[in-house]
């Protein structure tokens, strides 16, 4: 259960990096898994779960073999 809360917290952090800190824009590729997990001080497993949460809301898109990208849906999230 604790891991679920941590992954949700990390998902919120990634969303904040996009919407508030403006580190990433629509269409931008996120840093690779290893880099991002080190930046956020979490395991790659936790990071993957956080990314899955954001993918489920269509805020990120995973392109197999290419990376994880910010979708246009983030713009709608920013307006809320």
Q: What is the pLDDT of residue 53?
A: 96
Tens digits of per-residue pLDDT, 31-57? Answer: 999 999 999 999 999 999 999 999 999
Under 8 Å between Cβ of 69 and 61: yes
CB 26 within 8 A of CB 70: yes
What is the structure's pLDDT at 80?
Answer: 63
**Chain-centre distance of CA 43, in angstroms?**
14
CATH number at residue 50: 1.10.10.10
- CB 73 within 8 Å of CB 43: no
pLDDT tier at 63, thresholds 50, 70, 90: very high
Write out the residue range of the structural domain in which residue 46 sits: 2-79
pTM of the model: 0.89
Total domains in the fold of the chain? 1
Q: Is the pLDDT of residue 61 over 80?
A: yes
How far is Cα 30 from Cα 68, in angstroms, rounded to an integer? 6
Cα separation, 41 vs 33, in Å, equals 12
Confidence of residue 2 (pLDDT cuts 50, 70, 90): low
């Amino acid at each position: 259960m604790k891991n679920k809360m941590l992954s949700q917290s990390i998902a919120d952090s990634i969303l904040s990096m996009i919407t508030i800190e403006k580190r990433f824009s629509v269409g931008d590729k996120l840093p690779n898994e290893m880099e991002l997990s080190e930046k956020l001080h979490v395991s790659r497993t936790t990071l993957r779960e956080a990314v899955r949460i954001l993918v489920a809301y269509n805020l990120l898109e995973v392109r197999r073999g290419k990376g994880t990208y910010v979708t246009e849906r983030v713009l709608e999230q920013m307006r809320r």
